[in-house]
Structure 1
Amino acid sequence: MTTVTSPLTGRVVGLAGVPDPVFSGAMVGPGTAIDPVRRPTEAVAPVDGVVVSMHPHAFVVVDADGHGVLTHLGIDTVQLNGEGFELLVSKGDTVTRGQAVIKWDPAAVEAAGKSPISPIVALEASPESLGDAVESGEVAVGDALFSWS
């Protein structure tokens, strides 16, 4: 069983609240989403594992059970070409839950005309394999978002 914890502090809006049909339709996978606080912050690893994909706006950590968790910072943020994002780890690095992975500013993303809402997705998972996904309320870094069997 993998417990995925929040990589950000903010308000949970659930995948249905993501302004992107690919995420809101759970086409990438099941999970939830966070509308982050509007201040410079760090996105942290939601599980212990290895960083298998690393971009300025998104990263994937795969845990010891082979569960990959995507943290996508904002919507359409790939169009910012890395501006306003600082990578703190590299692809292939082993990270621990809560370790800072990317430094970014959700307010700057919003000012650039993009949504800072950030999906946290269980890759290659079925909706039935996720338990107790948080869909609303306030969360802090490290709060449980969902479990995955």
Structure 2
Amino acid sequence: MTTTVIAPVPGRAMSLGDVPDPVFAQGMVGYGAAIDPPREVITAVAPVGGRLLKLMPHAFVVLTADNVGVLVHLGLDTVALDGQGFTTLLQQGEQVRAGQPVTTFDVPAIVAKGLDPVVPVVVMDEREPGNISVTAALGAPIASGGELFVAQR
């Protein structure tokens, strides 16, 4: 089974190993890729179609029909902001299509608080890094909705 994961935000594609947070860089949550977003207010979109399993202001998980959970974490340590800088556009439990807007993300406000706005995108509980094929050119710009990686399961 193959799951294509699109970029939930525009920016520069990064290897997950380059994320300055060991929880993501070492694949403790799962494997995938990351995006360094532009320093402007942007809208994060669903990376896959499915059910919005978890929706917090700073992060969300979409569960596909094949039970692949994809986590989008908007910035590092942003849970401490208690929702400041984020506006959720949907409700937890809703069905979403890939590319559908989920949350607005005020990147300049996050940066102003001294936090890193990098956006890790991972397949939850994926323990095999070889099951993830990053298809985006690392270090290069990627548009929101562009193919980021493909997951095999």
Q: TM-score, normalised by structure 2?
A: 0.93
Distance 2:82 2:114 in 1: 14
The Cα shift of 1:133 comes to 4.5
SS of the aligned residue for 2:27 comes to: coil
Q: Which residue of 2 aligns with 1:136?
A: 139
Stretches of structure 2 lacking an aligned partner (at least 5 in a row): none
Alpha carbons 2:32, 2:120 under 8 Å: kept: yes
Alpha carbons 1:32, 1:133 under 8 Å: kept: no
Stretches of structure 1 lacking an aligned partner (at least 5 in a row): none
Q: Which residue of 1 aligns with 2:21?
A: 20
Letter in structure 1 aligned against 2:93: G
Q: Which residue of 1 aligns with 2:79?
A: 78
Alpha carbons 2:85, 2:107 under 8 Å: kept: no
Q: Which residue of 2 aligns with 1:108?
A: 109
Letter in structure 2 aligned against 1:37: P
- Aligned CA RMSD, in angstroms, stands at 1.0
Distance 1:16 1:58 in 2: 19
Alpha carbons 1:31, 1:133 under 8 Å: kept: no
The Cα shift of 1:112 comes to 0.8
Q: How many residues align?
A: 149
Counting aligned pairs with the same residue, the percent is 45
Superposition misfits of 4+ residues, deviation over 4 angstroms: none
Distance 2:134 2:18 in 1: 17
Letter in structure 1 aligned against 2:145: G
Distance 1:89 1:14 in 2: 29
Matching of residues 1-149 of structure 1 within 5 Å:
1-125=2-126, 126-134=128-136, 135-149=138-152
